[in-house]
C-alpha cells in the first residue's frame, strides 16, 4: 500500500515547477487594486443590489403568495448595468476567435442546450499559459453560424429561445444573457413573483451570504423578475425542474411545485455530509445525494428522498465506484448515477436505483462507446440531460435516461 | 522597496509553495493559480507584506484559503448545476504517489489539508496549525482520523484492483 509519510513529495513536485514571470504577478496586483477601488466607490448597481438583498435579510417581507403567479408590474424597469470593468471587453462577439480555442489547451466547463432547439452554447477556458487577454469564452452555435464572446467565469444555463445565461461567480455580479448575436438587453420587471412556466432560475452570488438575488428569467421575452423565496431558511442552494423548486438551507429544504408561490418544509439530518440535489424529470420527485468532501470528486455515501408530506427516506449506499460525476431522476422516478472509481483509467459506470430505493443495478449504455468523461447533468426546460465528453472536443454525448446516448455538437 | 521584497520572496518560495499546495489540491494548475493569487495579494499591498514576520507562512495560509474558497464555489456549482470539473493536471509522479493524491481527494477537506501539509509538505504540526488557523491539538486529531480514513481508502482501492 502506498505510504502517506513522504517528506520529499512536495520538494520533488517543486523541482518540476516553472514559475511565471513576476511581471504577471505585478499586473495582477494592479488589477486587484483597481477592482477594490471601484467597489469602494459605491457604484449605483451595487446599491440597487443591496436593495434586492434587503428582501433576503429577514426584513420581514413575506412571500407575495396572494398575487397571481407571474403577473408583472405595469411599470417594468431596465436591469442595472454593471460597472465597467477594465479587465473585460464589451460583450459583443469577438471579431477573431482566440487561437487557443482550436488547440488542446482549450477546456470546456459549461454546456447548455434545450432539446428540440437548434442553438447550443458552451463555455471554454484556457489556463494562464495561453496568450491573449480573453482566456474564457462563450461559444454559441446554430445553423452553421458560430459566435465567440469573452465572458467572466460563471455557470451557464439555457434560458430558451436560443438564449443563454451566464451567472458570474464574482459576488454582486448580475446574470448576463447572450444569444448568437451577443449580449441581450434584459428588462427587469418590478416586484417579486413565483417562477412562471418557461422561466429558469438565475442568481447573484453574495460575499458572506450565498445569494443576494434570485431571479426568474424568460429567454424568449428577454424579461426577468425577482423570485419569491421562503423566508425561514438561509439559502445555500436552489434547484429548479420547471416550476418544481427545491430550496436548500442548513439541514432543511423547502419544496415548491408552483414556482415558489407555496411550499412545504422538509428537515433532513445531513450528518455533516455535503449534499447534491439531483435534477429530476419526474415532477415532484426529489432526491438528494449525500457524500464526503472529496476535493474535486464527490464520493457518495447516502441517498435521501424528500417527500411532500415533510418526511424523508434515507439509505446508505456502497457502490464499487463511488465518485458521482452526474445524476438524474428519470420520468419513472428511478435514480440514475454516472460514477467513476478512484484510480486513473477506471471506467465510467452507469447505475440505476428503482423509485422505491434498494440495490443499484449497473446499466449497459448504448451509443456510449466514444465517451471519455462525464461532463455532468444539465437541467433544461424539457428535463435533465446527462452529458459526456468525447475525444472530439466539439462533440458530446447526451442521454435523458443514462442508457441511450446520442451525439450532439457542443460548438 | 516593497515590491522588490515581494519579488525576492517570489523567487525564493514560489516553487516550494506550489509543491505544498499541489499536495493539498491534488491538481497542479490549481496549485499554481492559488499560489500566484497569494503573491498577487502580497504585491497589491507590498508595504503591509514587508511587515509580515514569516512571509512564506503568510503566503501559504493565503494560498490555502484561496484554494478553500475556490473549492467551495465548485462544490456549490455542482449542487446547482452539477457542473463539470476541469481536467486535472499532475506532475510526473510514480503510481504510488498518484494513488495517494487521488485517495486524499476522497477525504474531508480538514483531514486532507492536515495530512497533505504534514506528511507531504513536511511541515511540523505547529506549522500546519498556523497555516490552517487551528490549535495544534486539532491538527493532531485530524491527522489521526485522516490517517485511518486514508488507509481505508487505499486498502479498498487495492482490494478492488487485486
pLDDT, tens digit, for every residue of A287-325? 999 987 554 567 788 999 999 889 999 999 988 888 888
- Candidates B51, B16, B7, B31; CA nearest to A25 is B7
Cα distance between residue B20 and residue B25, in whole Å? 9
Cα distance between residue B43 and residue A23, in whole Å? 11
Domain-by-domain residue ranges, chain B?
A: 1-91, 92-162
Same domain? For A301 and A212 the reply is no
DSSP 3-state helix, strand, coil percentages of chain A (rounded to 5)?
A: 10, 40, 50
Instruction: Evaluate whether residue A34 is within a structural domain.
Output: no
Same domain? For A210 and A295 the reply is no
Walk along chain A (411 residues) in steps of 10 and give the mean pLDDT of each run: 84 89 83 61 38 29 29 32 36 87 83 89 80 81 90 89 89 86 87 91 74 86 88 80 90 91 90 86 93 66 92 91 90 93 76 94 91 84 89 87 92 84
pLDDT tens per residue across span B91-111: 888 888 998 998 998 888 889
**Alpha-carbon distance A74 to nearest alpha carbon in chain B (angstroms):** 32
Q: Does residue A286 contact residue A246 with C-beta atoms inside 8 Å? A: yes
Task: For residue B116, give Cα distances in angstroms to A323, B27, B65, B73, B126.
Answer: 21, 13, 15, 21, 14
Same domain? For A156 and A197 the reply is yes
Same domain? For A355 and A387 the reply is yes
- Candidates A281, A319, A282; CA nearest to A298 is A319
Q: How many domains are contained in chain A?
A: 2
Q: Which residues of A touch B120 (CB under 8 A)?
A: 4, 6-7, 9-10
Cα distance between residue B162 and residue B159, in whole Å? 5
- Candidates B144, B108, B119, B114; CA nearest to B130 is B114
pLDDT score of A294: 52
- Tell which of A206, A229, A252 closes a domain: A229
Exposure of B61 in the CB half-sphere (CA atoms within 13 A): 15
Same domain? For A276 and A178 the reply is no
Cα distance between residue B84 and residue B75, in whole Å? 10
Domain of residue A114 covers 44-56+91-229
Please list, residue by residue across A387-397, b when 16 or more beta carbons sit within 10 angstroms of its beta carbon and e when fewer do. bbbbeebeebb
State phi, psi for A146 to the nearest 5 degrees: -150, 135
User: In B92-161, which ranges are continuous DSSP H helix?
Assistant: 95-104, 109-115, 125-132, 136-161
State phi, psi for A160 to the nearest 5 degrees: 90, 160
Kindly determine whether residue A109 and residue B86, on different chains, have CB atoms separated by under 8 Å: yes
pLDDT score of A43: 37
Instruction: Evaluate whether residue A335 is within a structural domain.
Output: yes
User: Does the model's ipTM exceed the 0.85 cut?
Assistant: yes
Instruction: Evaluate whether residue A21 is within a structural domain.
Output: no
- Candidates B153, B120, B132; CA nearest to B23 is B120
Same domain? For A153 and A298 the reply is no
Kindly determine whether residue B40 and residue A32, on different chains, have CB atoms separated by under 8 Å: yes
Please tell me which of the candidates B86, B100, B105 has its beta carbon nearest to residue A2: B100
**Alpha-carbon distance B118 to nearest alpha carbon in chain A (angstroms):** 8
Instruction: Evaluate whether residue A276 is within a structural domain.
Output: yes
State whether residue A375 sits within 8 Å of chain B by CB: yes
**Which residues partner with A406 through β-bridges?**
A398
Same domain? For A165 and A268 the reply is no
What CATH number corresponds to the domain at position A333? 2.120.10.80
Same domain? For A248 and A222 the reply is no
Average pLDDT taken over every residue of chain B:
85
pLDDT tens per residue across span A46-62: 333 333 332 222 223 33
Kindly determine whether residue B41 and residue A19, on different chains, have CB atoms separated by under 8 Å: no
Contacting A residues, span 67-96, partner chain B, CB-CB under 8 Å: none
Interface test with B, best of A2, A234, A253 (most B CBs within 10 A): A2
- Tell which of A174, A202, A229 closes a domain: A229
Same domain? For A291 and A318 the reply is yes
- CA-nearest residue to B30 within chain A is A127
Question: SS3 letters for A92-130?
Answer: CCCCCCCHHHHCCCCEEEEEECCCCCCCEEEEEECCCCC
- CA-nearest residue to A375 within chain B is B84
Neighbours of A314 (CB within 10 A): 16
Q: Does residue A32 contact residue B40 with C-beta atoms inside 8 Å? A: yes
Kindly determine whether residue A14 and residue B16, on different chains, have CB atoms separated by under 8 Å: yes
- CA-nearest residue to A237 within chain B is B80
Same domain? For A328 and A210 the reply is no
Instruction: Evaluate whether residue A66 is within a structural domain.
Output: no
- Assigned CATH topology for domain B92-162: Arc Repressor Mutant, subunit A (1.10.10)
Same domain? For A222 and A366 the reply is no
pLDDT score of A345: 66
**Alpha-carbon distance B129 to nearest alpha carbon in chain A (angstroms):** 17
Q: Does residue B96 contact residue A3 with C-beta atoms inside 8 Å? A: yes
Contacting A residues, span 215-274, partner chain B, CB-CB under 8 Å: 236-239, 248, 274
Q: Which residues of B touch A2 (CB under 8 A)?
A: 96-97, 99-100, 103, 154
Task: Dihedral sign for Cα A44, A46, A52, A56, please.
Answer: negative
Amino acid at each position: 500500500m502506498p505510504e502517506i509519510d513522504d517528506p520529499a513529495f512536495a520538494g520533488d513536485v517543486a523541482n518540476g515547477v516553472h514559475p511565471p514571470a513576476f511581471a504577471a504577478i505585478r499586473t495582477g496586483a494592479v488589477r486587484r487594486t483597481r477592482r477594490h477601488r471601484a467597489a469602494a466607490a459605491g457604484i449605483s448597481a451595487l446599491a440597487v443590489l443591496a436593495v434586492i438583498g434587503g428582501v433576503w435579510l429577514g426584513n420581514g417581507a413575506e412571500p407575495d403568495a396572494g398575487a397571481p403567479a407571474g403577473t408583472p408590474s405595469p411599470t417594468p424597469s431596465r436591469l442595472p448595468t454593471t460597472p465597467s470593468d477594465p479587465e473585460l471587453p464589451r460583450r459583443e462577439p469577438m471579431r477573431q476567435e482566440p487561437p487557443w480555442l482550436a488547440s488542446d489547451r482549450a477546456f470546456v466547463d459549461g454546456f447548455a442546450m434545450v432539446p428540440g432547439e437548434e442553438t447550443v452554447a458552451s463555455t471554454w477556458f484556457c489556463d494562464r499559459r495561453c496568450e491573449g487577454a480573453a482566456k474564457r469564452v462563450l461559444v454559441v452555435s446554430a445553423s452553421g453560424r458560430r459566435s465567440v464572446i469573452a465572458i467572466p467565469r460563471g455557470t451557464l444555463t439555457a434560458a430558451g429561445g436560443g438564449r443563454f445565461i451566464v451567472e458570474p461567480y464574482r459576488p454582486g455580479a448580475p446574470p448576463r444573457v447572450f444569444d448568437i448575436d451577443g449580449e441581450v438587453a434584459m428588462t427587469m420587471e418590478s416586484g417579486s413573483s413565483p417562477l412562471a412556466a418557461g422561466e429558469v432560475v438565475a442568481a447573484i452570488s453574495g460575499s458572506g451570504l450565498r445569494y443576494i438575488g434570485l431571479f426568474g428569467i424568460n429567454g424568449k421575452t428577454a424579461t426577468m423578475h425577482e423570485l419569491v423565496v421562503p423566508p425561514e431558511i438561509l439559502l445555500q442552494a436552489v434547484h429548479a425542474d420547471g416550476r418544481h423548486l427545491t430550496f436548500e438551507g442548513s439541514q432543511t429544504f423547502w419544496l415548491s411545485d408552483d414556482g415558489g408561490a407555496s411550499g412545504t418544509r422538509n428537515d433532513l439530518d445531513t450528518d455533516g455530509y455535503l449534499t447534491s440535489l439531483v435534477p429530476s424529470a419526474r415532477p415532484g420527485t426529489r432526491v438528494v445525494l449525500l457524500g464526503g468532501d472529496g476535493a474535486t470528486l464527490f464520493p457518495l455515501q447516502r441517498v435521501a428522498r424528500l417527500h411532500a408530506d415533510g418526511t424523508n427516506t434515507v439509505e446508505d449506499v456502497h457502490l464499487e465506484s463511488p465518485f458521482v460525476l452526474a445524476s438524474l431522476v428519470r420520468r419513472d422516478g428511478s435514480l440514475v448515477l454516472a460514477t467513476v472509481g478512484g484510480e486513473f483509467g477506471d471506467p465510467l459506470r452507469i447505475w440505476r436505483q428503482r423509485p422505491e430505493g434498494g440495490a443499484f443495478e449497473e446499466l449497459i449504455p448504448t451509443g456510449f462507446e466514444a465517451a471519455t468523461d462525464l461532463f455532468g447533468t444539465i437541467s433544461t426546460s424539457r428535463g435533465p440531460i446527462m452529458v459526456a465528453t468525447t475525444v472530439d472536443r466539439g462533440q458530446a454525448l447526451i442521454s435523458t435516461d443514462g442508457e441511450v446516448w446520442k451525439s450532439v455538437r457542443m460548438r | 522597496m516593497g515590491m522588490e521584497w515581494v519579488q525576492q520572496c517570489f523567487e525564493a518560495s514560489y516553487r516550494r509553495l506550489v509543491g505544498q499546495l499541489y499536495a493539498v489540491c491534488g491538481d497542479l494548475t490549481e496549485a499554481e493559480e492559488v499560489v500566484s493569487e497569494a503573491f498577487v495579494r502580497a504585491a497589491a499591498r507590498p508595504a503591509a507584506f514587508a511587515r509580515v514576520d514569516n512571509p512564506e507562512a503568510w503566503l501559504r495560509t493565503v494560498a490555502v484559503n484561496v484554494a478553500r474558497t475556490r473549492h467551495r464555489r465548485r462544490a456549490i456549482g455542482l449542487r446547482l448545476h452539477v457542473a463539470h470539473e476541469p481536467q486535472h493536471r499532475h506532475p510526473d509522479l510514480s503510481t504510488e504517489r498518484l494513488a495517494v493524491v487521488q485517495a486524499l481527494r476522497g477525504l474531508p477537506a480538514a483531514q486532507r489539508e492536515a495530512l497533505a501539509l504534514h506528511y507531504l509538505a513536511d511541515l511540523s504540526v505547529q506549522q500546519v496549525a498556523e497555516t490552517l488557523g487551528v490549535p495544534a491539538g486539532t491538527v493532531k486529531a485530524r491527522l489521526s482520523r485522516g490517517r485511518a480514513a486514508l488507509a481505508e481508502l487505499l486498502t479498498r482501492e487495492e482490494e478492488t484492483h487485486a
